[in-house]
Amino acid sequence: MAKEMADIGLIGLAVMGQNLVLNMCDHGFTVSVFNRTVSKVDEFLKKEANHKKIIGSHTLREFISSLKKPRKVMLMIKAGDPVDAFIDHILPFLDKGDVIIDGGNSHFPDSQRRYEMLKSKGILFIGTGISGGEEGARHGPSIMPGGNLDAWPHVKPILQSIAARVEGEPCCDWVGEGGAGHYVKMIHNGIEYGDMQLICEAYDLLKKALGFTYPELSKIFQTWNQGELNSYLIEITSKIFTEIDTDKQPLLDKILDVAGQKGTGKWTGINALDMGVPVTLIGEAVFARCLSSLKEERVAVSKVFKGPSEKCMQDKKVFTEAIQHALYASKIISYAQGFMLIRHASEAFKWKLNYGSIALMWRGGCIIRSKFLGKIKEAFTKNPDLKNLLMDDFFKKEIRRTEKNFRLTVSEGIKLGIPLPCFSSALTFFDGYRTERLPAYLLQAQRDFFGAHTYERVDKPRGEFFHTDWSGTGGIVSSSSYNV
Ligand code: 6PG
């Protein structure tokens, strides 16, 4: 009998890799596996002995020769140098037309570089974001593949069948050329940072301003999860509130208030600055984690500045609803900012991204999955060229409905001295974005005063620049020759 060949090979048997293999097997694919520490292959095969569709290899040569052509090799290894090292290792065994898929959290410029390098060798590269953690990988993650379009038909049946589904549609579709897949995953993670921080701020207000207990908070979040805020992160937060430690006390009270981060949110912030797009909320979410890490300094400063002594005088029920509205409005603004950045990147990198399809990919399987993403999908389906989510009829209506409570929540937080970096940056962005004339004209005057940086005039066509000798001691020469 001829030896069975694998539909796809996967390198990297950490939890995500193992779960993806099992997910692929459940969908009828035969998967070949390899791991740098070879003993992991045997352990995995032993543990999953009832899965007849897994082929284990002890050498790369054996692994590659077990794959059907064109070979499809998926890397589920640590992002960064290990990806380049593994690509170098497997390249000598591959033929033109074979496919390499990087499923880690790689930085998109690395994926762009790998795509170009491999293209020049005739190898088809895919850099794909995969979201949903261990559980998602096992039962249906959100998958965001980008890279070499010629590779897509070869991997589409596999990736779409293992992905999460919402209303029959797979949460996996082709994103775009080069580093587009990992770019969209980076934005997903940035938005994840924003969503998480917004939830923390809503919680902090409910607890500090209104004094809710953990069981009450859990109920509030369960209720919120039935409505417009319905999402995975709200659901898990309602469960976190009820977790009890071994000493029968709430586990949350034992967790140190220092947030970790692996860098994907920071990449989003850096990219927003590079592109000049005001993605303020994600930036604040990253800085909130940085601020949390200054634990010792915070402890010292907390002894010096006690903050306002005022108590919250709001009605519990009324203010809880206000906080819910503030969370929802901030979330709308965060996604509006995220999609502004995606639009700029799509134009700058000529990716022709499909915004509705991105929303659909995030609708299920991933960490930011929510009912709300269905509304974003609808908005882009109605108008694929929508410049900003805030200009969609549904979101316009929702912002108008929640605006008063949004303002009330932020001002109450400020009054009570409760830090609300993401709530308040969302509101400030909104107020800036809806302002026809900002004080930037004064700033332009200042720049021209001290540095002859020139300004444009409201009574002259755009693109004509003027300089004033403000102090009477400056010259008439402007500095525009060294403007960037
Ligand atoms: C996902 C998550 C995943 C991971 C984050 C955590 O989509 O499944 O985003 O990629 O949990 O990278 O990031 P931080 O450690 O930076 O919070």
Question: How far apart, in whole angstroms, are the C-alpha atoms of residue 40 and residue 167?
Answer: 37
Q: State how beta strands 99-102 and 72-75 pair.
A: parallel
- Ligand 1 atom at shortest distance from the alpha carbon of 261: 16
Candidates 59, 117, 128; CA nearest to 88 is: 117
Token match 């005088």: residue?
313
DSSP class of 2: P
Reply yes or no: is the peptide bond before residue 92 cis, omega within 30 of 0: no
105: exposed, middle or buried (Cβ count in 10 Å: 0-12, 13-18, 19+): buried
Question: How far apart, in whole angstroms, are the C-alpha atoms of residue 189 and residue 366?
Answer: 10
> Which H/E stretch holds residue 67?
none
Residue 479 is predicted with a pLDDT of: 67
What is the distance in A from the centroid of ligand 1 to the CA of 105? 8
Give residue 236's Cα distance to chain centre. 18
Domain annotation for the chain: domains and CATH numbers: 8-178 (3.40.50.720), 185-433 (1.10.1040.10), 440-484 (1.20.5.320)
Helix (H, G, I), strand (E, B) or coil at 350: coil
Are 384 and 360 contacting, i.e. CB atoms less than 8 angstroms apart? no
Q: Residue 133: CB within 6 Å of ligand 1?
A: yes
Q: Which two tokens stand for residue 214?
A: 């953990």
User: Virtual CA dihedral for 174, 179, 180, 185, nearest 10 degrees?
Assistant: 100
What is the distance in A from the centroid of ligand 1 to the CA of 369? 13
Active-site annotation holds for 378: no
Are 10 and 31 contacting, i.e. CB atoms less than 8 angstroms apart? yes
Question: How far apart, in whole angstroms, are the C-alpha atoms of residue 286 and residue 99?
Answer: 35
Candidates 220, 417, 188, 215; CA nearest to 327 is: 220
pLDDT 10s per residue in the chain (484 long)?
567 899 999 999 999 999 999 999 999 999 999 999 999 999 999 988 677 789 999 999 999 999 999 999 999 999 999 999 999 999 999 999 999 999 999 999 999 999 999 999 999 999 999 999 999 999 999 999 999 999 999 999 999 999 999 999 999 999 999 999 999 999 999 999 999 999 999 999 999 999 999 999 999 999 999 999 999 999 999 999 999 999 999 999 999 999 999 999 999 999 999 999 999 999 999 999 999 999 999 999 999 999 999 999 999 999 999 999 999 999 999 999 999 999 999 999 999 999 999 999 999 999 999 999 999 999 999 999 999 999 999 999 999 999 999 999 999 999 999 999 999 999 999 999 999 999 999 999 999 999 999 999 999 999 999 999 999 886 666 765 444 4
Q: Residue 105: CB within 6 Å of ligand 1?
A: yes
- Ligand 1 atom at shortest distance from the alpha carbon of 141: 8
Helix (H, G, I), strand (E, B) or coil at 34: strand
Strand ranges for 148-254 from DSSP E: 165-166, 169-170, 176-177
The order of strands in the sheet holding 142-147 is: 54-56, 31-34, 8-11, 72-75, 99-102, 124-131, 142-147, 176-177
* Residue 300 vs residues 295, 297, 367, 420: alpha-carbon distances, Å: 9, 5, 35, 21
DSSP class of 72: E
Kindly name the residue from 40, 72, 185, 375 that is annotated as catalytic: 185
Residue 1 is predicted with a pLDDT of: 54
* 232-292-104 Cα angle (round to 5): 50
Question: How far apart, in whole angstroms, are the C-alpha atoms of residue 46 and residue 314?
Answer: 60
Angle subtended by helix axes 152-162 and 15-26, to nearest 10? 90
Candidates 195, 181, 220; CA nearest to 372 is: 195
Question: How far apart, in whole angstroms, are the C-alpha atoms of residue 184 and residue 352?
Answer: 12
Mutate to test the pocket of ligand 1, among 19, 105, 186 (most ligand atoms within 8 A of CB): 105
Active-site annotation holds for 185: yes
Burial track 207-232 (b if 16+ CB lie within 10 A, e otherwise): bebbebebebbbebbeebbeebbebb
* 349-388-355 Cα angle (round to 5): 50
Q: What is the pTM of this model?
A: 0.96
